[in-house]
Chains A and B, each alone.
Chain A
Amino acid sequence: MRALVGLLNNPVVPTIIRYAPGLVEYVDVIPDRLWYDFEDEAGHGERFHHVVGAIDELKQCGEGRVLGGHGIGLSLPSAMPIDMAMVDEVARLARELNFAWFSEHLSMFLVAHGSVPNSQAGLGLPVVYDDASFQIISAKLDVLKQVLGCSLLLENGAVFTPVPDTEMTEPEFLNRLYEQSGCATLLDLHNLYVGWRNGILSPTKYLEQLNPLCVHEIHVAGGDHLAGFYTDSHSGLTPSEVWSWASEFGPRFTNLKAIVFEFHESYFEKLGMHGIIGELERMHGLAESLAHGVKERIAS
C-alpha cells in the first residue's frame, strides 16, 4: 500500500488544500489547537471551549482525505495519572473527525507541579528508557486504546540532553512498545537530524536498531540555528540528509501509512506556497518510490 502524503494542521493548511487539493491526502490534527483548556480557572463552566469554526473547517478539509490525531497534551511519560477529562475530549474529537489513528509524543511535557512550554515542537523533555517508564506509558496506552478505539503511535522527540546510562536505547524502547503494547512509531526523521546535528545520536545506527515494522508514520520538517544549536523549529524546508534517510530506510517500513511535512504557520511567508508545494511533490515522489520498493521486496 502506498503511504498517504500530508501536512500537520495549522491555520494556513486549509489555504494550501484549496490551492493544491490533489497534493494533500492526509492531515495530522493537533486536538489541543482546536480548544482552549480552562482547567485552571474556576467560573468558566465547561473545561474545554472550542475555537468557533475550526472543527467545521477541518471537516471540510477532511472531505476525501484521511485525518489523524496528533496530541501534545497527554504527556504519557509523566509519572502522574493520565488526564481522563482530556482523554474523553480527544475521544469526542476523534469521533467527530473520524481519526484513522492517534499519535502522541514520547516526550515529557507535564510534571507534577507544572508544565514545559512546548510551542508545538520546541521543547519536550527526554524520557528515562527503563522498565518503570515502560510500565507508566504502556498502562496509559491501554487506557487510550480502550477509549479511542483506534491504533496508537508514539513519536520520537528532539533531544538536547539525553538521559545517560538507561536500560534501553530509544529505538529499543519503541520496539518494546510495539511488541508488547501494539503501539506503533511515528518516526520524526527531522528530530533524528536535530540529534545528529547536535552530536547526540547517529541516525543510521538509530534506524538500524528500530524495528522497521513499527514505523506507521514519518514526519519531515526543517529547523533553525539557535546560539550554536540546531533546533526543531518547523521553520524551514526538509534538509537533504532527511530525504536520504527516508529513501534509504523507507523501503523497510512496510507498514508505513503516511508521510507528513510539519511547518509552523508563522513561517509560511518565509517558506512560501511554492516551497510547501515543492515539499509535497517530493513526498509524493518518495511515497511512490517506497511503494515500488516494498513491492520489489515482497516479490523477492
Chain B
Amino acid sequence: MLVEFQQALADLVSAPQLCREVRAEPSRLRGRYDLSDKEFERLIAMVNHPGMQCNCMLYRANRLAPLALNLPRSCRLLGSNLGALLSEYSTRYPNTNVHFYRECHRFCSFVEEKLEQGLELRPEVREALEQEFSAVKLALSATSVAL
C-alpha cells in the first residue's frame, strides 16, 4: 500500500537506528508495514542507498535548525546535554512543526517539564532558556486571526 510505503520511508529517514536494523534484517520491514513485494524491494534498495545517510542527517539538521536559530544561547549553554535532550524530544514528538517559533515553544516546554522532573541545569542555562522562551512566546503572541 502506498500509504504504508510512504510511512515506512518517513520513519526510516527519521531513525538511523531503524535503517541499521533493516539493513541487517530486511524482513523487519514486513513486520511493521503492509507492503507489496515491489514496495518492499524499493525500500530495501533505498535504505541501502548512500543517500539515505544524507536524508537522516538532513532530518536531524532540520529539527535542530529552528532551535539553533531562535534559541542560540540556550543551545550553546546546554552543550553536551543538547544531543540527548534533542534525541528524547525527537522521539517524543516525531511530528515536526514547520513553524520555527512553534517548534521552539514546544521544545522549551519539554525542557521545562524535564526540569520539573529533576533535570539539573546550571543557573545560567536556565536563565538563557527562560529569556529565549519569553522571546518566542512574545513572537507567537504577535499574531492576528483574520486576514
Contact = CB atoms under 8 A, between A and B. Distances in A.
B145 A46 contact: yes
B55 A160 contact: yes
Given A160-B52, A163-B42, A231 B58 contact: yes
Nearest to A80: B3
Interface in A215-268: 226-227, 229, 231, 266
A117 B6 CA distance: 15
Contacts of A45: 145
A122 B61 contact: yes
A123 B42 contact: no
Interface stretch (B97-105, B116-124, B125-133): B97-105
Interface string A142-164: 00000000000000000111111
A118 to B, nearest CB: 6
Chain A facing B: main interface SS: loop
Contacts of A103: none
Contact of B55 (A78, A123, A165): A123
A79 B98 CA distance: 20
B139 to A, nearest CB: 9
Interface stretch (A108-116, A185-193, A288-296): A108-116
A43 B96 CA distance: 20
Contacts of B42: 128, 163-165
A51 B38 CA distance: 45
B51 A198 contact: yes
Contact of B144 (A37, A50, A132): A50
B99 A37 contact: yes
A51 B62 contact: no
Contacts of A35: 143
Interface in A255-285: 266
Interface residues of A, number: 55
Chain B interface SS verdict (over half): helix
Nearest to A165: B42
B62 A117 contact: yes
A87 interface: no
Given A79-B6, A165-B41, A226 B54 contact: yes
Interface in B25-84: 38, 41-42, 45-46, 49, 51-55, 57-59, 61-63, 65-66, 69
Interface of A: 32, 35-38, 40, 45-46, 48-53, 55, 72-73, 78-80, 92-93, 96, 108, 111-119, 122-123, 125-126, 128, 132-133, 136, 159-165, 198, 200, 226-227, 229, 231, 266
Interface of B: 1-3, 5-7, 9-10, 13-14, 38, 41-42, 45-46, 49, 51-55, 57-59, 61-63, 65-66, 69, 94-99, 101-102, 140, 142-147
Closest 7 CB pairs of A and B: A160-B51, A49-B143, A117-B62, A119-B62, A117-B96, A79-B3, A229-B54
